[in-house]
Structure 1
């Protein structure tokens, strides 16, 4: 079957009105900490979640490049929403890349029909590095799921949740197991207890599983040994979201300055928009938004190349996968610093008026700082430096936990 993605114009016509509607209430949602159920519903109705689902499965068949361009635009409207949907799009990509042909079709059909998938991966506390406390186990011939996850991003908005679990009959160093359950299943409890100072509407709280029944076909094992595009997929969501925040910073700075009449006695213009120093700040903010989007597009281009080879049935070389992984790391480092700087520089365009809580201009720094704290950038910089100096292969599979003390 020929692979014919939609045109960029078709996607813009479909989604830009939705993004505009979302942007209208973004600052107020943030101010009131009102979860974005309505906004998620508008995206669902427009088919946004099915962007990457192939047309033959009922989706829109968009390319990776098109997906991430839209993620930048959505992040400009409200940066909470791309992160809330990161697990969903990551799941869709995993279905396309790592599920077998027999496993793939029913999950793609669910997404095409409007299902949203959430995340339950990370466990809080001092569990051992590389081990999970959340388990699937057999009892009286049935599979059951028990455990607790934190940072369950997007799960309060989701219909299904993908739960990373330990199972006794597989080696966690070789295999990762994903259990897929409905969020309204008996034994599933979702708690809105994310208390970070940024990205507060991403529904990133605790999810508990108490002997939740799981169908055998909904337990998926995938390898943890070879190179994969999935880490770049997930990282690019953060990069694209930061690029969208950079655009929102520029937008809000311009909107703040243009109507202002008050100036400082030691300023350099009759009104702020004519002050060359203010113009310089706006130019710096605009340039940051431009470069951040370019970096995101460069990573997306690499993922697009991988996707086209996959569709043609061509093998994916480790060299290509490593190249895209390194691109994502380099983009993360540069974009993080640039956008955090822009989110601070924003306040140079005005005085105390810019600090009014009703404007919520602080949300751009808080949200960017929160995104930058995921997959800590200092470790990505070290990996890239090690590769440049020593040719060391990047690690595609990693986790968090407490490292066991070295034995004597």
Structure 2
């Protein structure tokens, strides 16, 4: 009963702000008005801290509750979940860190409204999995220099998570940089045909002074449920696009008075063929949302276990044992498998739904003022992250051979192939 009540309270808390965000979303997208105001609304209502435990000032949402809310937000405006992807992943990462002062500090900062952005990918000559962006030290001062692309959310953020190469050790490091620090240049130059408001542009770091406390060794190659969590944020965004497409298709038909001579109803809403299309869209969207939430439940189990593992040896958790390590490994693999399975279905389901939308309205549905094509464009761009073809192969390899899951994603220059 308490869990059900908590879920209802969360949905009731955010329903008004989601409705407010949805009201002008089509206009914002058409005019490319960046949603700075809407991010602030989410901050003011506590949505940025929805995952943070109550003891640190957050709302304590479970993983499934969080993804339910994320789908609802994406229905209102799919740009917002994606631009908050690095933020929510950062929260998740701190949740599964060993208890201590740093963990508590950052969780309380987030509960107070702090937002994180991302600066990971480069379009440089660096090899796959490496970075030209460098952290160097001179006279006791740490500095960051480099250029990042696809810096999703960073133009809205207070802090930016940057991946770089440590010039001294050659190791990959994760650096937390104040977004307004001297030498940080955030550029709004993202020009994708969908998800146009995510701020996924270029960020340049020039001689940026870095606090040593904000430098961590990167653990990107370590298998973790975080990989599945990252993917599910995109899939929840796609599922929300599907819900928005269903909403707009239904509203379009309900308001339509013109009919076709070959139609079989006195209005579009009474035409059985149109009814069939709306029903099909509804089924596609339901399947997409169900897949996301089913995977979220598995990722949530791995997250809960990871938090327990992080606390091993403290007063709140028993010591680490071989069996607990095996259990953790199983949970991580299950989480990644569930996320990949969802990824193999959700994009296709929603792309079909956003295409079928145009079957209910003829040429009038393509009017620019309606901006209905944004649903397909947004779904297509979201689906282009972490291409499905590689995930399908990896899952098949894992099922056949036992070791094919991809826990890391990286881009870069490939090694030239030589022939003899």
The alignment's TM-score, normalised by the length of structure 1, stands at 0.95
2:313 maps to what in 1?
Answer: none
Q: CA 1:4/1:336 → structure 2, altered by over 3 Å: closer, same or farther?
A: closer
Q: Is residue 250 of structure 1 aligned with residue 246 of structure 2?
A: yes
What root-mean-square deviation, in Å, do the aligned CA atoms of Structure 1 and Structure 2 show? 1.8
Instruction: Give secondary structure in 1 for the equivalent of 2:58.
Output: coil
1:154 maps to what in 2?
Answer: 153
**Are the equivalent residues in 2 in contact too, given 1:5–1:63 (CA < 8 A)?**
no
1:236 maps to what in 2?
Answer: 232
Q: Is residue 368 of structure 1 aligned with residue 368 of structure 2?
A: no
2:321 maps to what in 1?
Answer: none
User: 1-side partners of 2:109 and 2:69: how far apart?
Assistant: 22
User: 1:100 offset after TM fit, Å?
Assistant: 6.1
1:18 maps to what in 2?
Answer: 17
Matches within 5 A, 1:9-408: 9-98=8-97, 101-170=100-169, 172=171, 176-313=172-309, 315=325, 316-406=327-417
User: 1-side partners of 2:269 and 2:221: how far apart?
Assistant: 56
User: 1:146 offset after TM fit, Å?
Assistant: 0.6
User: 1:6 offset after TM fit, Å?
Assistant: 7.4
Deviates more, 1:314-323 or 1:44-53: 314-323
User: 2-side partners of 1:5 and 1:349: how far apart?
Assistant: 37
**Are the equivalent residues in 2 in contact too, given 1:6–1:60 (CA < 8 A)?**
no
User: 1-side partners of 2:116 and 2:222: how far apart?
Assistant: 25
The alignment's TM-score, normalised by the length of structure 2, stands at 0.92
Q: How big is each residue's C-alpha offset from its partner over 1:281-330, in whole Å with a ceiling of 9 and x where there is no partner?
A: 00011011111111011111012112322344465521221111011111
**Are the equivalent residues in 1 in contact too, given 2:256–2:268 (CA < 8 A)?**
yes
User: 2-side partners of 1:120 and 1:376: how far apart?
Assistant: 20
User: 1:177 offset after TM fit, Å?
Assistant: 1.6
Instruction: Give secondary structure in 1 for the equivalent of 2:162.
Output: strand
User: 1-side partners of 2:5 and 2:388: how far apart?
Assistant: 34
**Unaligned residue ranges in structure 1 (runs of 5+):** none
Q: CA 1:6/1:306 → structure 2, altered by over 3 Å: closer, same or farther?
A: farther
Q: How big is each residue's C-alpha offset from its partner over 1:174-220, in whole Å with a ceiling of 9 and x where there is no partner?
A: xx421111111100000000001000000110000001111000011
Count how many residue pairs are aligned between Structure 1 and Structure 2. 403
Instruction: Give secondary structure in 2 for the equivalent of 1:403.
Output: coil
